[in-house]
A and B are shown apart, each in its own frame.
Chain A
Amino acid sequence: NAGVTQTPKFQVLKTGQSMTLQCAQDMNHNSMYWYRQDPGMGLRLIYYSASEGTTDKGEVPNGYNVSRLNKREFSLRLESAAPSQTSVYFCASSAPTGGVNQPQHFGDGTRLSIL
């Protein structure tokens, strides 16, 4: 009953350090997403992967890279962390649309603080 699993749950970095956030889903979903949640701003899409082998930019991609390692895994990398990237990061996945947009299922989030 794992659903979407994110690791780590918490992380503190220093400015300039690099870090990869991991995400895996066991629901055989085609599409995966990374969002960040900041106070008063809702969730904003960073990158998404509509299907294995493809990735696309979302609303706020600067400072991030992603890798769709296989159908299950979608990682988010911060190459040189900045304090503005302090946020809660959510990974999500969704089933193929089949003509109807499916709801996204979210992981529990990663709280990232950059000093």
Chain B
Amino acid sequence: AQKVTQAQTEISVVEKEDVTLDCVYETRDTTYYLFWYKQPPSGELVFLIRRNSFDEQNEISGRYSWNFQKSTSSFNFTITASQVVDSAVYFCALSEAGIRNSGSRLTFGEGTQLTVNP
């Protein structure tokens, strides 16, 4: 069975601090996909990034960066120079490889509530 653990329930930082959100996953599949979603106070879920199990390159997008390490089954998310607008719940999620033209189910972590204070 697949499992995603986000051990940090809540994190509070002051604006401009860097913050890392941890994600650890379990799966028996050799091919799988990892995702991060953001849920701002308005409640919608916003897709941030997808990573497949064969691509361990770290990725940077503006102030966001992701560190994928298969050896430790982790897919951590770092926000550099945090801003108040980054305040949200962040979810890490895992999916098995889907059959062609079929969907695939997401297993979510419990989420990390990030609060960035001015």
Residues of A in contact with B (beta carbons under 8 Å apart): 30-33, 35, 40-45, 48-51, 58-59, 88, 90, 92, 94, 96-101, 103-109
Contact = CB atoms under 8 A, between A and B. Distances in A.
**Chain A interface main SS type:** loop
B9 A99 contact: no
Contact of B101 (A32, A59, A90, A97): A97
Interface of B: 4, 6, 9, 33, 35, 37, 43-45, 47, 50, 52, 91, 93, 95, 97-111
Given A90-B45, A103-B50, 18 more contacts: A30-B101, A31-B104, A35-B108, A41-B110, A42-B6, A43-B91, A43-B93, A44-B108, A45-B106, A48-B105, A50-B98, A51-B102, A59-B107, A98-B100, A101-B50, A101-B97, A101-B98, A106-B44
15 contacts: A30-B102, A33-B103, A33-B106, A40-B110, A43-B108, A48-B105, A50-B103, A90-B45, A92-B45, A97-B97, A98-B101, A99-B100, A101-B95, A106-B44, A108-B44
Given A42-B109, A45-B106, A97 B43 contact: no
Q: Which 8 A-B pairs have the closest CB atoms?
A: A31-B103, A42-B108, A50-B102, A106-B45, A97-B98, A101-B33, A103-B47, A43-B108
B106 A97 contact: no
A33 B105 contact: yes
Given A43-B91, A101-B50, A88 B43 contact: yes
Given A40-B9, A43-B91, A103-B50, A97 B108 contact: no
**Chain B interface main SS type:** loop
Nearest to B91: A42
A19 to B, nearest CB: 20
A42 B118 CA distance: 27
Given A90-B45, A101-B95, A106-B45, A96 B101 contact: yes
Nearest to B49: A103
